[in-house]
Structure 1
């Protein structure tokens, strides 16, 4: 058998393939002036694949170059014994240049592949196909797209308003000290958008609110921060889901109006809104009147006998008594 270097020299001579009764008996036959040179398929496939690039290669060698290149690709993929439909079609097209008889041409190519499969290592015939490819058609199989877990919607950052409204009194009897006296409504507003505030219950009343998918989570986080300052707000998550109002007692309402709670809520961008009828102007005025004198003789032309100065406090036009002023001075809550 010729060596690899000899085979490269033989490329200038005509070549044909003889199909034997046994694949291993099949041979390439080079017709030289010195006679015929025979080579096994596994020895000749490499040099034949270079036939296109060899300037002195015979036309028959060039015709075998394409089947040789395709065979090397099939060996690399382990598909030499069972080529995919695409490679089979390419081999069929390339066989037309090998022999004018189409039947004989295809027989030679198939015999070449069979001889090469018999002479090559097992890896050349062990399929190395991509599992996503259809072995019959050579085309990628249609598979469902991979399921990519959705990221959790990003929670937005909200500012909020706690709107206080007093409950209507249905009769003249005084409500129980532990009973509700007012309703507190939570309104939220995204800090990253220019939308107007919306009732927090609207986020649960309908899906697809324009505040976005993370609005409910942002509201829960905000309510948790409010509840750390004003505990009655911790009832809001359950009430929001059931679309129920937050009713508060007088003590809870007084706590909401305390300066400590108001300051802490403002730090969390939460404002407390009171009914307009509670927002009254506080006025101070000076008063002049006779000073009370102890019994006994009064001195004439005494300034203490003639008059005294004092201050008077009025809220919304209603003058407070001295007892009410003293009581207000001892409290730490906001004047309403």
Structure 2
């Protein structure tokens, strides 16, 4: 397991989350769908009780990761008041794209997110790459990479695009297939100026304030791909270790910045499972009413979960500029962490 690092010292201009966007395809697929699958043995009540999910979305045949990602990216750029020409870097991430079995764009069997997004978005001056292997924690890790690139001074605007379309790799003989949904989310990180927003000791610091990252390869086999290219998830292992991991990361990032849970306006977690998320919030000290959850209507959208939920609650006015937000996420590997940041 990785050891704690020193917090970001706030030197230099802040890296600001200046825009977010989301996209969920088609009409909601309700739990009734799974009730009709022979041998699965679940109903709406079972799915809601064991996962917290009431519906999810699946992409149509003419819409893949890149197409969804472009829609989320355009929404994020609009939110930031920027043009495509302002984008210097595109970072893509996905937990469910696969070569050939579940490719990222129409007409090509590769799994890259960033390059087809660049092509369809028309961001010809942006250089691109994907952050992979961290799965559901992709937004957290990609945001840290974005901060590092911005700190070099060679880029001013980084667009992070997360896209998921799990249906092709789900094994519908297993109940956990009811958990996952498709969608895309994007975030614009930029070099900004301290605004003095907020009423806590960090009031002179905006943007991405601090990040804790962790990894433990002992749990690498908790996820696998079977001979039919379907995802294998060993949920028993995850339910044992995930809560402690997320609680420790969340508590660490707060403690080393001198923050109490009361100073956090919102917690936006990876939208994993309410049976995991509510006890985690209780242990960190975040009231459940300050959790930003779109899981009940969107399902577990892997890397899209954290930025997608944030974007939805920004769009409806729940999240306001200057508020302090705690994000926590865990992905295959296992790779996990926590971040403290302001929206704008």
The bucket for the TM-score relative to the shorter chain is: under 0.3
Which of structures 1 and 2 has the bigger CA Rg?
1
TM-score under structure 1 length normalisation: 0.18
Structure showing greater relative contact order (alpha-carbon pairs closer than 8 Å, 6 or more residues apart): 2
Question: When the two structures are superposed, what TM-score results if normalisation uses the length of structure 2?
Answer: 0.17
